[in-house]
Structure 1
Amino acid sequence: MSPIAVGGPALFIGTDTDYVALVRPELDPADPGVRLAAEQAGVTPEELAGPGDTWAVLFQHGGEGDGFELPGVRDAEPADFAERLRAGLAAADGPFTVDGGAALRLDARPAGADDYAFTAHITPPDDAATPLTVETGPLPAAALLTDLDAFLGSLA
């Protein structure tokens, strides 16, 4: 289960303290915080919430984290990333890499009989000179495959 709640499709890889997530957040115009922010901004809650079509990368390493938006990314690109990650896990024949473009690359390696550990290479678009690396501990491949199926289903 993901420690982040975004209200939209989310692919979470990691633990509570070390993770990378590919998300398309959706704001709820009925949420009291959204309503208050809209009032303070002088717009309707629906205008503030917007269409919920902007993808983002969120990450945390050792309790420190942040995120950034991926302007112009359409649902097909995160779906392709998830499908390639799913194929690598399903093959279970050793290390593999899933390239998500300039902002995200995921290196996977076996970490036990049925587990994989990941190294996420993250490059914020507005700070390409400062790439980040997040290492996850061993994660059960079966649980990740279930999460990938749910993520892909949320995009269908």
Structure 2
Amino acid sequence: MNQPVQQPGGPALFIGDDTAYVALVRPELDPADPDIREAAAAAGVTPEEFVGPGTIWALMSEDASGEGDGFELPGLRDIEADEFAGQLAAGLAGGEAFTLEAGSVLRLDARPADGDSWAVTAEVTPPEGHDGQGPQSLDLGRLVSAALLTDLEEFRSSLA
């Protein structure tokens, strides 16, 4: 089951099931949100300064035990996120096992499973200098091809 990560605004691509996932997100925070306004005041900046331009992508992950991490991908642009989604869709359409890399931080290994589903594992490697946990290997479960392709299409449309 693929369901979007609940993020304030912005495009999000969720790959996984209800026990383990990776998510590529570009949150767009609302400076009018009371929590944002409070955090900005505590930081001594305007809400608009606190929120920033909303162009920073992040990769989030969580394994079946609930252990997770997230980190910013400051060099990632929308076009590169779109290309990643397009390559993932092409791999799924090809019907054969494939590996897809997103720089040095994410590798997906996908192989056909039962019926119209894929067994997907992800290797997440935080960038150097990241203070969170280290590399993670995640079994993302069996993902239904049609649902994942729909999610990819919606994600790519959200970037346009």
CA distance in structure 2 between the partners assigned to 1:110 and 1:76 by the alignment: 28
Structure 1, unmatched stretches of 5+, are: none
Q: In structure 2, what is the Cα distance between the partners aligned to 1:114 and 1:56?
A: 29
Q: Tell me if 1:70 matches 2:70.
A: no
- Cα 1:6–1:119 change in 2 (3 A) is farther
Normalising by structure 2, we get a TM-score of 0.91
* % identical equivalent positions: 59
Q: Quick check: 1:109 aligned with 2:111?
A: yes
Q: Tell me the equivalent position of 2:84.
A: 81
Structure 1 residue ranges (4+ consecutive) displaced by more than 4 angstroms after TM superposition: none
CA distance in 1, matches of 2:156, 2:103: 19
Q: CA deviation at 1:3?
A: 4.1
Q: What do the CA deviations read for 1:85-134 (whole angstroms, capped 9, x no partner)? A: 00111222x21111111111111111211001211111100358932111
Equivalent residue pairs, number: 155
User: CA shift at 1:73, angstroms?
Assistant: 1.1
1:130 and 2:106 aligned: no
Question: What amino acid maps onto 2:43 in structure 1?
Answer: A
Aligned counterpart in structure 1 of residue 146 of structure 2, from 138, 142, 145: 142
CA distance in 1: counterparts of 2:156 and 2:97, whole angstroms? 23
Could you say what the CA RMSD is over the residues aligned between the two structures, in angstroms?
A: 1.6
Please tell me whether residue 90 in structure 1 is matched to residue 93 in structure 2: yes
Q: Which residue of 2 aligns with 1:99?
A: 101
CA distance in 2, matches of 1:97, 1:58: 19
Q: Is the contact made by 2:5 and 2:13 (CA closer than 8 Å) also made in structure 1?
A: no
Contact 1:122 1:132 in 2 (8 A): yes
| Partner residue in 2 for 1:153 | 157
Q: How far, CA to CA, are the matches of 2:5 and 2:29 in structure 1?
A: 17
SS at match of 1:138: strand
Query: Which residue number corresponds to residue 52 of structure 1?
Result: 54
- The runs of 5 or more residues in structure 2 that have no matched partner are none
Q: Tell me the distance in 2 between the aligned counterparts of 1:144 and 1:80.
A: 16
Aligned-partner SS, 1:35:
helix
The residue number in structure 1 matching 2:21 is 19
